[in-house]
């Protein structure tokens, strides 16, 4: 198979879909790999590294798409890439279709085979290709939240860890999944008081078992959310519904109940956000303020630490890339039910039920 790795062109995105080590494995299996010039530079991988691993470097993104049977990316294609995708071409990347009907319609029109990292699901119900980026984003959420609590950037002026004689900051985390647990680890490590909410009691018991005593668990409901937003300094949105739009757990009217300078980091922004006032931002302009509440809603948070993120991501995607290249998508998905759940749109047809539900479509073909 001919595999193409284009340069990511989303704003402030330094990750790349494949490392030189991945190229080496594909070439060892008799596949051809085309890498766009400069694709890996943001992650510290240069054209000569890919060439030494056996890749051919192409100058433009158009050449990569035109020559490849399968495209391996990190972020969803943006508008200028839509027309480059060919009928029957495999595109293996994060799509987050539930947050963008225009992207969904464009991929239906392309008649490509869209396999989404975020819906690849194993027998235990975990999402192996989403987990590493959720780990990065969860840890970054506290790092960024702590920064935006500073007064010069309109935060409350609170140091999360406090100092002797001054109480630590208070962090509220919505969701006890991968994002929530990683955020809680970082916040607890800084010495903050942490409250983590979820509707899954098994997850709350797990958090209670592994976290120190200053990480407190509570059942998630509107009453508890309204109570805690009044007293917490930093709020992390880490709620995920597999392949579907995130629920709005914090509504616009709730912002008035928060103290001025409270910071919200909505990690769920890729799936529409779990805060009603969430709108995607970029690393170049990451925050905005509504009702004196600072919103940090960068849709590609791990893109700010591209080396760590690229290596973490490709560690888990490469086995599936090899399977797709060695067997083709039909055989690979027939034999691997985990990978099959990644199929979202196949040659003009939506095959992932949550997308149909999200957009209230009556059938699988838009």
Provide the annotated active-site residues. 96, 270
Q: Is 301 annotated as a binding residue?
A: yes
Q: Is 227 annotated as a binding residue?
A: no
Q: Is 170 annotated as a binding residue?
A: no
Q: Residue ranges of the alpha helices (H) in 14-75?
A: 20-28, 47-53, 61-67
CA distance 268 to 171: 17
Q: Is 102 annotated as a binding residue?
A: no
Q: Is 231 annotated as a binding residue?
A: no
CA distance 107 to 92: 12
Q: Is 53 annotated as a binding residue?
A: no
Q: Is 183 annotated as a binding residue?
A: no
CA distance 316 to 223: 39
Q: Is 298 annotated as a binding residue?
A: yes
Q: Are 1 and 70 in contact (CB under 8 A)?
A: yes
Q: Is 203 annotated as a binding residue?
A: yes
Q: Distance from first CA to last CA of the chain, Å, rounded?
A: 30
**Helix, strand, or coil (residue 150):** coil
CA distance 157 to 222: 27
CA distance 229 to 78: 35
Q: Is 139 annotated as a binding residue?
A: no
CA distance 164 to 210: 26
Q: Is 330 annotated as a binding residue?
A: no
Three-class SS of 68-129: CCEEECCCCCCHHHHCCCCCCCEEEECCCHHHCHHHHHHHHHHCCEEEEHHHCCCCCCCCCC
Q: Is 324 annotated as a binding residue?
A: no
Q: Is 133 annotated as a binding residue?
A: no
Phi and psi at residue 284, to the nearest 5°: -75, -30
Q: Is 43 annotated as a binding residue?
A: no
Please give the annotated binding residues for substrate, written as ranges.
15, 75
Please give the annotated binding residues for NAD(+), written as ranges.
134, 198, 203, 220, 239-240, 267-270, 298-301
Please give the annotated binding residues, written as ranges.
15, 75, 134, 198, 203, 220, 239-240, 267-270, 298-301
């Amino acid at each position: 198979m001919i595999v193409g790795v284009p340069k990511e062109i989303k704003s402030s995105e330094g990750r790349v879909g494949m490392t030189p080590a991945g190229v080496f494995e594909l070439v060892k299996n008799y596949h051809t790999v085309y890498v766009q010039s400069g694709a890996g530079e943001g992650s510290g991988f240069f054209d000569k590294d890919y060439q030494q691993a056996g890749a051919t470097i192409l100058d433009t993104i158009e050449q990569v798409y035109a020559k490849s049977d399968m495209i391996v990316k990190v972020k969803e294609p943006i508008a200028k890439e839509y027309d480059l995708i060919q009928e029957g071409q495999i595109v293996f990347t994060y799509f987050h279709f539930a947050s963008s009907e225009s992207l969904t319609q464009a991929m239906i029109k392309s008649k490509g085979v869209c396999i989404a990292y975020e819906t690849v699901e194993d027998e235990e119900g975990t999402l192996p290709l989403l987990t590493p980026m959720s780990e990065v984003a969860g840890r970054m959420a506290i790092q960024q939240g702590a920064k935006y609590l500073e007064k010069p950037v309109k935060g409350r002026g609170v140091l999360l860890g406090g100092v002797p004689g001054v109480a630590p900051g208070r962090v509220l985390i919505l969701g006890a999944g991968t994002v929530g647990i990683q955020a809680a680890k970082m916040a607890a490590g800084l010495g903050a008081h942490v409250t983590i909410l979820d509707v899954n009691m098994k997850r709350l018991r797990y958090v209670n078992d592994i976290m120190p005593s200053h990480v407190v668990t509570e059942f998630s409901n509107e009453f508890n959310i309204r109570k805690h937003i009044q007293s917490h300094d930093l709020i992390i949105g880490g709620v995920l519904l597999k392949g579907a739009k995130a629920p709005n757990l914090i509504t616009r009217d709730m912002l008035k109940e928060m103290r001025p300078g409270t910071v919200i980091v909505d990690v769920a922004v890729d799936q529409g956000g779990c805060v009603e006032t969430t709108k995607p931002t970029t690393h170049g302009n990451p925050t905005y303020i509504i009702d004196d509440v600072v919103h940090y809603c960068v849709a590609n948070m791990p893109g700010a630490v591209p080396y760590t993120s690229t290596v973490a991501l490709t560690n888990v995607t490469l086995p599936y890339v090899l399977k797709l290249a060695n067997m083709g998508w039909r055989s690979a998905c027939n034999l691997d039910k985990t990978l099959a759940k990644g199929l979202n749109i196949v040659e003009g047809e939506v095959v992932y039920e949550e997308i149909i539900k999200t957009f209230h479509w009556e059938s699988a073909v838009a």
